[in-house]
Amino acid sequence: MVIPRYPLNSQSPVVLYSPEVMEVKRQIIIFWLNQTPNLEQGLSNKTIMKISEVYFAPDDFAELVWSTEGLMLCLANIFSDANQYIIEPNMDVRTFELLMEALTIFEWVALDIRTKISLVCSPFLHSLYPFLMTNYNLPFYCCIKNRILTMFNMILMTPFNIIIHFCIDSGFMDTVALNMASYRRDTTIICVNIMFRFLRHPKALNFVCSTSITLTRIVGALNDTINGMELHYPDFKDAIVLEPLHNIIMCYALISTNIFGRYFLKKYLPEALRAFTFYTYLSKNPATLDLLVRLLENFDTLPIA
């Protein structure tokens, strides 16, 4: 039995399945999971393909994955077992493919509003943390790190209080700050987007501006990113390196809405922004230029401390 439903702002139906059909799908997933001999081998290409073939309705997709007994634990164990490759950077192709497949399922869960809350409340995400702390400039490790960061960016697309508290309590934003001034542009862009989504939430902004320690950590990461852009800017005539500049300035603007944050930025805002070092790029992006001008003007409204 299939139950059609028309979502808001849509002319086409989204198909939702009855509990009986959902149970059949769940049993199919369990069957294919049982084809995997052990956790070390993990999910084979055949298994992941068969699991993905089970789904037809996006609304049911993540919830069914989450409720399938053993699947999320299997994914967490795969990453825990792969921690050995963090100490010694000798990851093979099969392990890399396995981790990327596992991250695909994590992303399915992270995209659904109902299941992303359960994901944040579970211990599974902590199995991903060690890979965010790696500094190996190797393709496998960089791809895995960016994929994990992208998944967290998906989670922050729905900034519920519980998600913001997770980012604060777990120390995840410290990890994002460490990776922001990366030597890889793609990693920098993802981290800047995460930081921007995080600071847009009032609780997150209050947390960052609550002490000079947290402000130093976050503003320091933004400043290091700007300094890195300034260092490479002359070498990029098309200014590709400056893609995240708008969101960085947005982060500064959000911090400046807090009086303590504004005092802090007045003292520590990078000279490259005060001197309009990136004017050639900014002149082609009037919205970003206007944002920077208003940010600097806000400093003039501060009373003398």
Is 134 found in the same domain as 115? yes
Give the pLDDT score at 107.
79
Alpha carbon distance 232, 182 (integer Å): 13
Per-residue pLDDT of 229-267, as tens digits, reads 877 666 555 455 567 888 999 999 999 999 999 999 999
Alpha carbon distance 81, 94 (integer Å): 14
Number of domains in the chain: 2
For residue 10, is it within any domain?
no
Per-residue pLDDT of 268-290, as tens digits, reads 999 989 888 888 778 888 888 89
Answer whether residue 199 shows pLDDT above 90.
yes
For residue 195, is it within any domain?
yes
137 touches 183 (CB < 8 A): yes
Token code pair at residue 109: 């869960």
Is 80 found in the same domain as 169? no
Give the pLDDT score at 58.
47
For residue 293, is it within any domain?
yes
Token code pair at residue 214: 């947290």
- Here the CATH number for the domain that contains residue 134 is 1.25.10.10
Single out the residue in 149, 177, 208 at which a domain terminates. Answer: 149
Is 166 found in the same domain as 124? no
Single out the residue in 149, 169, 197 at which a domain terminates. Answer: 149
Is 248 found in the same domain as 116? no
Give the pLDDT score at 137.
80
Single out the residue in 149, 181, 200 at which a domain terminates. Answer: 149
Is 86 found in the same domain as 57? yes
Instruction: Quote the domain boundaries for residue 134.
Output: 15-149
Least confident of 92-101, 197-206, 217-226, 236-245: 236-245
Is 173 found in the same domain as 87? no
Q: Which long-range contacts (CB under 8 A, 24 or more apart) does 227-232 make?
A: 227/181, 227/270, 227/272, 228/181, 228/188, 229/272, 229/278, 230/270, 230/272, 230/277, 230/278
- Ramachandran sector of residue 269 (left: φ over 0; alpha: ψ -120 to 50; beta: rest): beta
Q: Which residue has the higher pLDDT, 145 or 55?
A: 145
Q: For the chain, how long is the longest CA-to-CA vector?
A: 70
Alpha carbon distance 241, 184 (integer Å): 10
Is 254 found in the same domain as 125? no
pTM as predicted: 0.78
